[in-house]
Amino acid sequence: MEQQVTCIREHLVAAQDRQKKYADAHHVNRQFSAGDKVFLRVRLHKSPICYGKGSNLALHFVGPFEVLERIGLVAYCLAFSSNLSRIQDVFHISILRSYFVDVTHVLDWNALQVEVGSFL
């Protein structure tokens, strides 16, 4: 009986190590500091930020927004423009993407609209 228990434990440890190896291979270590520019991921039809008509060809990332401060280990406070003032400004790191500054990048903020109360 004890041999079966130790055998099962060894198999469980081997399986956990294998799963950890797979998870570590896909882990991305991202950190932002105050003043960095980031894109914000937008989920179509579920986000309070709508860009255009919300079709399948709509943007999945909007921005760039400036990082104001880091809150805890995985949350960041972003600086929004005045037309996005109704949206909460703290976001998890998993929905932020790095933005590399490009002077030729032009954004049209007039097409960005906020839908209040429709994101739940």
Above 60 in pLDDT, residue 88? yes
**Single pTM value for the model:** 0.59
Number of separate domains in the chain: 1
Residue numbers of the domain that contains 76: 37-114
Q: Report if residue 29 sits inside a domain.
A: no
Q: Report if residue 86 sits inside a domain.
A: yes
- Average pLDDT in the 8-23 region? 94
Q: Report if residue 10 sits inside a domain.
A: no
pLDDT tens, position by position, 34-46: 888 888 887 766 5
Q: CB atoms < 10 A from the CB of 47, how many?
A: 20
Burial of 64 (0-12, 13-18, 19+ CB in 10 A): buried
Q: Report if residue 5 sits inside a domain.
A: no
Q: Report if residue 13 sits inside a domain.
A: no
| 18 DSSP β-pair partners | none
